[in-house]
A and B are shown apart, each in its own frame.
Chain A
Amino acid sequence: MAEVKVKVQTPDAVPVEIENRIIELCHQFPHGITDQVIQNEMPHIEAQQRAVAINRLLSMGQLDLLRSSTGLLYRIKDSQNAGKMKGSDNQEKLVYQIIEDAGNKGIWSRDIRYKSNLPLTEINKILKNLESKKLIKAVKSVAASKKKVYMLYNLQPDRSVTGGAWYSDQDFESEFVEVLNQQCFKFLQSKAETARESKQNPMIQRNSSFASSHEVWKYICELGISKVELSMEDIETILNTLIYDGKVEMTIIAAKEGTVGSVDGHMKLYRAVSPIIPPTGLVRAPCGLCPVFDDCHEGGEISPSNCIYMTEWLEF
């Protein structure tokens, strides 16, 4: 009688069981488990079986494969998410992951191509698919109007993409900016007026003519001319344009942490000022504003003797 070789085989754990065990382990360690942990739990399973089980779980979309500094991590995937990706193949999942990683800044299609190494045609097909499934959306960037960035459907686009409060649908709202500009200036001007009329000693007068950016922000909010919520940084950019107009000057003072409106221990104060010289002499003559100044010389077509601008100006 031939010897019945009784191979002592490790009980061939059914693959499903292995998977279930792995999933249980994952639930136990929600932030992920390494290969080592699985091995410790089920030392009797061979590496190959383990690999097969893990692969199946991955392809079913129940596990997430992450790389960490110590090696590979497996994490249970959110069941909601898992449902979404049903029916998508690996490439789509990859692209989806890349877009998800980009967060709310979005990512350009060329960058997706670089990261995933997929050909352009594939990418386009996948993007179209994902868009129809309402998983991602395209947002036009305000910086380069031809560029489209993709981001997850339910994310709010970041300010740098849409331009923030100053842009409504890619259009720069210049009238809105102008109105805010004038309102801020009026506020600062009236503050300076009241300070000047109070006729106290000059230090107090000057200090009371200053308004902090927080005060201006409150005033604008209360005015209610803006339909969009404006933050203090927005108001500061408006006040900066007033500085560049030469109508307002700014100082920074040290403020105690915790006083209203202080950022990192200092506060910005603004004050309305008037220009230091009246319009200069050159612009009171027609030559100062003449568009054909360089062509003008005696005896030519355009000369001082027959200058029409001068004639008009003299008749004034």
Chain B
Amino acid sequence: MTQAEIKLCSLLLQEHFGEIVEKIGVHLIRTGSQPLRVIVHDTATSLDQVKKALCVLIQHNLVLYQVHKRGVVEYEAQCNRVLRMLRYPRYIYTTKALYGDTGELIVEELLLNGKMTMSAVVKKVADRLTETVEDGKTMDYAEVSNTFVQLADTRFVQRCPMVHIPENSDTGPSPPAPSLVINEKDMYLVPKLSLIGKGKRRRSSDEDAAGEPKAKRPKRPMDSKEPIPDDGIYWQANLDRFHQHFRDQAIVSAVANRMDQTSSEIMRAMLRMSEVTTSSDAPFTQPLSSNEIFRSLPVGYNISKQVLDQYLTLLADDPLEFVGKSGDSGGGMYIINFCKALASLAIATLESVIQERFGSRCARIFRLVLQKKHLEQKQVEDFAMIPAKEAKDMLYKMLSENFISLQEIPKTPDHAPSRTFYLYTVNVLSAVRMLLHRCYKSVSNLIERRQFETKENKRLLEKSQRVEAIIASVQATGAEEAQLQEIEEMITAPERQQLETLKRNVNKLDASEIQVDETIFLLESYIESTTKRQ
């Protein structure tokens, strides 16, 4: 774990869970897997607090535990998983686009709570939706359950590993930590629940259907004591599936940019077909025949079979090499080459960064060296048609930033500089890693700046909150216009301006974090796909 990653994890943990959890989490990330006693000792926090912090982290799938020999349980933090917290808004937004508000709230609840039972999720989401819907209408549990089942079918949510109870459980003492297993085919199996009910509003001034007076309110918590039908079956969001979706999105938009809309639709159809047949980290999809693709094109997209075939041939022949032809049966068998697609996207990211940082001539030199693999100084000038002095300057600049590296080929055994060939080359994997590191640091910087801005204006924010609370209470007890006016004037105009600016800045920084996270996703996927191959 690099320094930049650790810093980013610490910022994220602090923002989401607070100081204590951050301390424990960062300690675990830094030192790897540790037993409980050691954690207590090293971080100098009380056992109670450490236990609570670990609970929180385990609940959110950020820390795993393992029973080692001699019965010691060790806890290990997953740095990658902590970094995913940056991507939560993107997950929620994707679900919203695919399954509407219901889906959005389901995934949001799951992400915020780590693991939840289905009934709890459904209930909570129904309550929330009922609040937003206009008066008089309530959200039916059935609708929410349907969306939940849909999410499970498309594998966006999955079951958490469950406690494994061996047959002969009465032999010997119980193990120090339960072992969790989950069967592959059970992972997306939705339990048969009959959740009947409607979402309830939370507002105290509401007259609910049963007409219960306020006095009866304390009885509410009693309801939750009923045995929940699916106790022990917890669900979590399946982040891998989301990543697969993002990757597919990136590929489709790349094809749309390079070719046209129809080709990207065909690509989308092909990707959808291979969603469930191919595992998320396979380098190629299963071969898809052109007949199948024709059948699974979206309805209303009426292009003839011949035109489809032509598009498929064009896709297969394109220098991008996203699609390859693997055979001729069934009208032509086509596969999607994920390795190549991710590599092209990562390289395009690199080129875009160089273009924005150093200029388009530098980008030209970079692409040239990338294509020709190894070039001498003189050849670079000749091919790129850039004057010698400028070309030299640009090459050295890129060299100092480690986008380009030098390969020495000596002519004589004594490696004399005047008798050595120096060739420029691009090592894509190391350049991508370097850029990824820079992305992590950038996100930490953005978060820090956001916190700084908020802290600077803390006094103002507190004041505005107080004023809002006063207004709300005054309105509740019935007030005149003049009184409200007076209270609102407690915040002067320049202060209001400041608040506006603050809000705008914080939003901008937030948005920027998410944008950098998009780059992080592309680069990480590329590194994963290349290192897995080796």
A binds B: yes
Seen from chain A, the residues whose Cβ lies within 8 Å of a Cβ on chain B are 143, 166, 172, 174, 177, 181, 196, 201-203, 206, 237-238, 240-241, 243-246, 249, 251, 273-285, 287-289, 293, 296, 298, 303-305, 307, 310, 314
Partner of A201, one of B310, B356, B367: B310
Q: Is the CB of A285 within 8 A of B512?
A: yes
Q: Is the CB of B364 within 8 A of A244?
A: yes
Which of B146-154, B156-164, B346-354 contacts the other chain? B346-354
| A240 and B344 alpha carbons, distance in the complex (Å) | 20
Q: How far is the CB of A296 from chain B (nearest CB, A)?
A: 7
**Cβ contact within 8 Å between A276 and B364:** no
Do B385 and A282 touch (CB < 8 A)?
no
Interface set of B (CB-CB < 8 Å, partner A): 250, 253-254, 257-258, 260, 262-263, 306-307, 310-311, 313-314, 319-320, 344-345, 348-349, 351-353, 355-357, 360, 363-365, 367-368, 371, 378, 383-388, 435, 438-439, 441-442, 444-446, 448-449, 452, 504-505, 508-509, 512, 514-519, 522
Which residue of B has the minimal Cβ distance to A279?
A: B352
Query: B residues within 8 A CB of A274?
Result: 257-258
Q: Are B452 and A202 in contact (CB under 8 A)?
A: no
Q: Separation in Å of the B363 CB from the closest CB of chain A?
A: 7
Cβ contacts under 8 Å, A166 to chain B: 385
A-B contact pairs, 21 of them (CB 8 A): A166-B385, A172-B387, A181-B385, A202-B314, A203-B310, A203-B313, A241-B385, A244-B371, A245-B360, A251-B319, A273-B258, A277-B254, A277-B345, A277-B352, A280-B349, A283-B352, A284-B515, A287-B442, A288-B353, A288-B356, A314-B505
**Residues from chain B with Cβ under 8 Å of A283 in the complex:** 352-353, 356-357
* Chain A, Cβ-Cβ closest to B254: A276
User: Which of B344, B378, B518 is A281 in contact with, Cβ under 8 Å?
Assistant: B518
Which A residues are CB-close (under 8 A) to B452? 304-305
Cross-chain contact A279 with B356 (CB below 8 angstroms):
yes
With A201-B307, A287-B442, A314-B508 in contact, is A281–B448 under 8 Å at CB? Answer: no
The smallest beta-carbon distance between B418 and chain A, in angstroms, is 14
- With a cutoff of 8 Å between Cβ atoms, the chain A residues found around residue B387 in the complex are 172, 174
16 more A-B residue pairs beyond the given contacts A203-B313, A282-B435, A314-B508, with a C-beta to C-beta distance below 8 A = A181-B385, A201-B306, A202-B262, A238-B385, A241-B384, A244-B384, A276-B320, A282-B349, A282-B353, A282-B439, A282-B442, A282-B515, A288-B356, A293-B438, A303-B448, A304-B452
Q: Are A276 and B257 in contact (CB under 8 A)?
A: yes
User: Which of B253, B385, B441 touches A293 (beta carbons < 8 Å)?
Assistant: B441
Report the minimum CB–CB distance from B517 to chain A (whole Å): 7
> Which 5 pairs of residues, A with B, have the shortest CB-CB distance?
A281-B515, A287-B442, A283-B356, A276-B254, A304-B445
User: Do the beta carbons of B356 and A285 come within 8 Å of each other?
Assistant: no
From known contacts A240-B383, A244-B364, infer whether A307 and B449 are also in contact, taking CB-CB under 8 Å.
yes
Are the C-beta atoms of B515 and A285 separated by less than 8 Å? yes
Q: Give, as a whole number of angstroms, the nearest-CB distance from B480 to chain A.
A: 40
B367 touches A246 (CB 8 A): yes
Residues of A within 8 A of B383 (CB): 237, 240-241, 244
Please determine whether B519 and A202 come into contact, CB atoms closer than 8 angstroms: no
Q: Known A245-B360, A246-B351; judge A285-B446 contact (CB<8 A).
A: yes
**Cα distance, A298 to B3, chains bound together (Å):** 13
Whole-angstrom distance between the Cβ of A177 and the nearest chain B Cβ: 5
Instruction: Kindly identify which residue among B253, B260, B320, B386 contacts A196, using a CB–CB cutoff of 8 Å.
Output: B260
Chain B min CB distance to A195 (Å): 11
* Complex alpha-carbon distance, A238 and B254, angstroms: 26
Q: Are A287 and B356 in contact (CB under 8 A)?
A: no
Question: Which A residues touch B351, using CB under 8 A?
Answer: 246
Docked pose: A181 CA to B361 CA in angstroms: 12
Chain B residues contacting A246 (CB-CB under 8 Å) are 351, 363, 367
**Beta-carbon contact of B516 and A282 below 8 Å:** yes
**Closest B residue to A249 using CB positions:** B319
| With known contacts A203-B310, A275-B257, A298–B448 Cβ distance under 8 A | yes
Query: In this complex, which of B313, B388, B445 has the most chain A Cβ atoms within 10 angstroms of its Cβ?
Result: B445
Q: Which of A276, A281, A296 contacts B445 (CB 8 A)?
A: A296
When the two chains form their complex, are residues A287 and B357 in contact, meaning their CB atoms are under 8 A apart? no
A282 CA to B517 CA, complexed, in Å = 8
Contact (Cβ within 8 A) B448 A305: yes
Which chain A residues border B357 with CB–CB below 8 Å? 283, 288-289
Distance (whole angstroms) from the CB of A278 to the closest CB of chain B: 8
Q: For the complex, what is the distance from the CA of A181 to the CA of B319, rounded to whole Å?
A: 22
Closest to B345 in A: A277
Known: A277-B352, A284-B512, A287-B441. A206 touches B367 (CB 8 A): no
CB distance from B390 to the nearest CB of A (A): 8
- Whether A281 and B311, one on each chain, are in contact in the complex, defined by CB atoms closer than 8 angstroms, is no
- Nearest residue (CB) in B for A196 is B260
- In whole angstroms, what is the CA distance A60 to B444 when docked? 88
Residue of B nearest to A205 (CB): B260
Residue pair A280, B449 in contact (C-beta under 8 Å): no
B364: chain A residues at CB < 8 Å are 241, 244-245
- A275, B348: Cβ atoms closer than 8 Å: yes
List the A side residues contacting B344 at CB < 8 Å: 276
Q: What's the Cα separation between A282 and B348 when bound, in Å?
A: 13
Contact B448 A244 (CB under 8 A): no
Residues of chain B lying within 8 A (CB to CB) of residue A307: 445, 449
**B376–chain A nearest beta-carbon distance, Å:** 12
CA A254 to CA B446, docked complex, whole Å: 54
Of A238, A273, A285, chain B has the most CB atoms within 10 Å of the CB of A285
A250 to chain B: closest residue by CB: B319
**Which B residues lie within 8 Å of A279 (CB)?**
352, 355-356
B513 to chain A, nearest CB (A): 8
A293 to B434, CA, bound (A): 13
A239 to chain B, nearest CB (A): 11
For the complex, give the distance between the alpha carbons of A279 and B348 in Å: 9
Supposing A277-B254, A307-B445 touch, asked if A177 and B307 sit within 8 A by C-beta, the answer is: no
Chain A neighbourhood of B438, CB < 8 A: 282, 287-288, 293
Q: Which residues of B contact A251 (CB under 8 A)?
A: 319
Q: In the assembly, what is the distance between CA of A307 and CA of B371, in Å?
A: 37
Q: A202-B310, A245-B364, A288-B356 are in contact. Are A276 and B348 (CB under 8 A)?
A: yes
